[in-house]
Chains A and B, each alone.
Chain A
């Protein structure tokens, strides 16, 4: 299948498409939240930036998390440094990317299986971290969240929120592009060039065309998260490892709660329930994985999550599960710092690894650890470290600057999309009824992205993310893709099959109840009616 198009910002003036040799001051590796934040920070400081991502933006860990913007409450007892960082960054992100955030508020609740005394330690920790928490009456908590387990014994309010990871990453990436950065998706780093004790660039492969591309860059910021060690191996640094901590999450088809619910206990499995957009997400597990690209979800893990959900919201198992996925935390392990046993015991704070000090290779920094809530601070720290090594004084501006898409300054509210759309809902074809995506918006996204992956369009528009999981919209979108992008039937059909396979990965382990019924209806359409299997 011949695939074209890879630069989602191909209309930006700086774009140097088709040139086999690129130059930049700074090469950022990784198109997740960290990389996008780093590109935004560096571009704002006036650096000439190229960001490379082997797949689509936010396709790795960032797009596979639960959507919780931490208040810091989860870390106050176990990891006070991480807690303090969350307290500060939570406030800053609400101000700079309001559109990506819904102010749901959060509750920590003591379930019948939890030690009520932990609540006191929790409150002490909140005070120490200057986290505004308050204990409320159980009856008040139940009034606020009627589905919550009525047998909870204590409840505390915290400023948790939910955050749309895709929107966040796209927002920072678009902001970086607006300041001259070039964002190259579907470009994999295959080699790092090191000469005279410093990096000088990298070899890239365009994953869509198979072509190689060399980039010359005086500085490389490795923001590839769970894949960071693979990058470092290319520079001959073998003794840094990443312990991929696998976490599974299940999106339930409804907002079972409107407030983020945390179990008030030491961080454990299945103790967070996050309302985000039209769904709620339960997470998560923490299992040491061998390979960040091989993280299958097992039925036993699903069962465990459902039982954990039942503890927070009785009747959880009767609710409809929409999708399940796994993400890998980028938990760093330095072979010189000793063996790690439980991935949860690795600090959730981040650190910048300076490879000039550690390995004698200048111009190379790696971001280790971290979490989405502190992505801005992580970016600031690594770009500060770069400025220090370059001997330049360029102050960070990300505390004040809003990236594109956050102009009106209103945070996301459930129903805002319908409010925006409902006046014109009858004026055009509605392609995805679940997510209210009209034909014009879909065609615009297809033209702008210039790619032909329905799965990428799913991530940018939420196409096919609703209850029917693409049952009705994906044939339509295939037809439109074929028309808009002048794809031939073979390419369009391959994209359809790819979408169906990607979708299947996220649904088969949770197929029971109404979602099984939905899946069988979708089989009826794709296998029975359209006969996609034999296209």
Chain B
């Protein structure tokens, strides 16, 4: 049986944030994950808070007004700001530097979605920031699409942007990266890594731009050296260029994954993928070791601390069975917010507020899981990310912010507890 200071379960934004923060502070960290997931789905923006449910301009002003059960109520605006600062710094000095993030929790940018909806987002890749639509839409937008990329439709985007009050039009190119049928966003990003492909794109676009226009591209501007690709296009076009997230797989999400995973590796953290945590050995309200299934093997991993960041229902971090009982499959933690059997779980209108929408693991202020009575279930387990109860991340546009802030807070809490223990022993 291996032993680590901290075992982090899950490798989405929350798990990676906790793992990197801990490893960089000297902890021996092991990440167990079923597979990569959430980062590859997210658009790559850190949405902190966009709707409550009406659209808000300044997340920092609305965080205090959230219900007490909301994860943000546990970390507070200062905690979110600290996590955002840490993340921006980590990306800016990371393996894809000078690729970086801009923004903060004081105000939201409004960036177009692939459907052309102005979406509020707080902290965004520098390659997307030029799409800000605040203040009457800003400069007109020329959306460049590729007919071969089915996960991004430039004319639809431009039409809906126009409806939303911006000035926009679309051009579609027949270019596609070579040697791959039906290329997805990642294939296009690899195409943009190639100077020859970039030159072809530039040549087909450059003469067709209006004087005032900025240029939108699907978020596929390079996977290996995204900042260089983006900066080169801005220079060639002589105007702002920005990316718009596509359907998954998300290239900007994969960049976040690559940066944080490399940071973890260089800080000495270990990752085991295809490891499914199936339970824990407990003693006196503490987890001593986790059991994980990797292929046909069952392994035990000893840990002083566990950070559970396995995601919500979408990621398999929470499950609901056909008898309508919810459970948390890794550690069997209590799940809060699930309507009683027989009670309404979903409403017939898709865009309604669904009673089960905020289900998850409830925690105390130190992110320890609690039962229905509010009593702590385990002393050395902290829960972060979409597993937490109390939020509706997609409707609120808060998912990335919650994962980042609670992952970061979990690491801070573990570090504080271990340094207190060390200080205690030293004294």
Contacts and interface: CB of A to CB of B under 8 A. Distances in A.
A534 interface: yes
B119, B159, B163, B323 interface centre (most CB from chain A within 10 Å): B159
B207 to A, nearest CB: 23
Interface in B64-122: 113-119
Interface string A378-411: 0000000000000000000000000000000000
A439 B313 contact: no
Interface string A497-524: 0001101110011011100110011011
Given A475-B115, A517-B313, A520-B312, A493 B321 contact: no
A478 B150 CA distance: 11
Contact of A531 (B42, B113, B321, B393): B113
B320 interface: yes
Given A517-B314, A520-B314, A521-B314, A528 B153 contact: no
A478 B114 CA distance: 11
A481 to B, nearest CB: 9
Nearest to A479: B153
Contacts of B345: 299, 508, 511
B156 A318 contact: no
A508 B248 contact: no
B377 interface: no
A17 interface: no
Contacts of B148: 429
B322 A513 contact: yes
B320 A512 contact: yes
Given A528-B394, A528-B399, A488 B159 contact: yes
B394 A523 contact: yes
A426 interface: yes
A47 interface: no
A196 to B, nearest CB: 48
Contact of A306 (B116, B322, B394, B397): B322
A490 B313 CA distance: 32
A418 interface: no
B247 A475 contact: yes
A533 interface: yes
B156 A529 contact: no
B389 to A, nearest CB: 15
A17 to B, nearest CB: 27
B404 to A, nearest CB: 15
A483 interface: yes
Contacts of B156: 478-479, 482-483, 489, 492
Interface string A410-434: 0000000000000000111111000
A250 to B, nearest CB: 11
Contacts of B394: 523-524, 527-528
Interface in B287-346: 312-316, 319-324, 342, 345-346
B401 to A, nearest CB: 12
A417 B351 CA distance: 35
Given A512-B324, A513-B319, A524-B41, A476 B160 contact: no
A439 B150 CA distance: 9
A493 to B, nearest CB: 6
Contacts of B323: 317
Given A431-B150, A521-B314, A475 B159 contact: no
A512 B321 contact: yes
B119 A531 contact: yes
A534 B313 contact: no
A524 B314 contact: yes
A479 B348 contact: no
A529 B247 contact: yes
Interface in A301-332: 306, 317-318, 321
Given A483-B153, A512-B324, A524-B41, A535 B160 contact: yes
Contacts of A475: 114-115, 151, 153, 247
A429 B182 contact: yes
A296 B316 CA distance: 29
B130 interface: no
Nearest to B162: A489
Interface in A38-61: none
A321, A534, A535 interface centre (most CB from chain B within 10 Å): A534
A504 B117 contact: no
B153 A489 contact: no
Nearest to A491: B159
A142 to B, nearest CB: 24
A317 to B, nearest CB: 4
A351 interface: no
Given A317-B322, A478-B156, A530-B115, A426 B393 contact: no
B376 interface: no
A1 to B, nearest CB: 13
Contacts of B426: none
A300 B324 CA distance: 12
A535 B41 contact: no
Contacts of B42: 528-529
B113 A529 contact: yes
A531 B315 CA distance: 20
Nearest to A510: B322
Nearest to A529: B43
A511 B107 CA distance: 36
Contact of B155 (A479, A501, A504): A479
A490 B164 CA distance: 10
B247 A525 contact: yes
A532 interface: yes
Given A513-B322, A516-B313, A535 B116 contact: yes
A479 B172 CA distance: 12
A388 B151 CA distance: 58
B114 A530 contact: yes
Given A318-B322, A517-B314, A517-B319, 18 more contacts: A429-B148, A439-B150, A475-B151, A478-B115, A478-B156, A479-B150, A482-B159, A489-B159, A492-B159, A493-B160, A508-B345, A511-B320, A524-B41, A524-B394, A528-B42, A531-B113, A531-B117, A532-B117
14 contacts: A296-B348, A299-B345, A317-B322, A476-B247, A482-B153, A483-B156, A504-B348, A511-B345, A517-B314, A517-B315, A530-B117, A532-B115, A534-B117, A534-B119
Nearest 4 CB-CB pairings of A with B: A479-B153, A489-B159, A520-B314, A528-B394
